[in-house]
Copies of this chain bind each other. A is one copy, B any other.
Amino acid sequence: MVQVDKLYQEFEKDALAKLLGIRIIDIQPGYARTYLEVNSNLVNALGMTHGSTVFALVDMALAAASNSRDKVAVAQNVSIHFMKATHPGDQLYATATEENLTNRTGIYRIVVENEAGEKIAVATGTAYRTDSSH
């Protein structure tokens, strides 16, 4: 496993996460958790949290969890299901857990919940594990 401190430092360079206000709040081997407080810049035309905002929260959890192992990993595909609308002021958490890990592939389930623990979205992501180490 990589040094978690170093991994946090790497993700500090993620410009989009900074722009959106997404924070990685936990990394364990094969596990990660991200957080976002929705604001008025992150909504769609109907004033609800944008699906792409929710996806970004999921994507960061996938990135952190899949890179918590020995190798640099990149997202290959993600399938996301949206379940419940949220709004500015809502606090969202995405939790990524490892479904499976092989030499080349990691599969992760990511669940997004609001501050009340209601399910907002679920996703499955596949990460390709490169030959590079962190």
Interface status of A44 (Cβ within 8 A of chain B): yes
Q: Contact check, B45 vs A11: say whether CB atoms are below 8 A apart.
A: yes
Specify how many copies of this chain sit in the oligomer: 4
Interface status of A5 (Cβ within 8 A of chain B): no
Interface centre among A44, A59, A75, A119 (most CB of B within 10 A): A44
Interface centre among A11, A43, A52, A81 (most CB of B within 10 A): A52
A120, closest chain B residue (CB) = B100
CB distance from A54 to the nearest CB of B (A): 10
Q: Contact check, A122 vs B105: say whether CB atoms are below 8 A apart.
A: no
Q: Which secondary structure dominates where chain A touches chain B?
A: mixed
Residues facing B in A2-54 (CB within 8 A) are 10-16, 19, 40-45, 47, 50-53
Q: Contact check, A55 vs B53: say whether CB atoms are below 8 A apart.
A: no
CA distance A126 to B75 in the complex (A): 13
CB distance from A120 to the nearest CB of B (A): 10
Q: Contact check, A10 vs B45: say whether CB atoms are below 8 A apart.
A: yes
Residues of A within 8 A of B (CB): 10-16, 19, 40-45, 47, 50-53, 55-56, 59-60, 63, 74-84, 99-100, 104-105, 107, 109, 119, 122, 124, 126, 128
Q: List 18 A-B contacts (CB under 8 A).
A: A12-B45, A13-B45, A14-B45, A15-B50, A51-B59, A51-B78, A52-B52, A52-B59, A74-B82, A76-B126, A77-B81, A81-B124, A81-B126, A100-B119, A100-B122, A105-B128, A109-B122, A124-B124
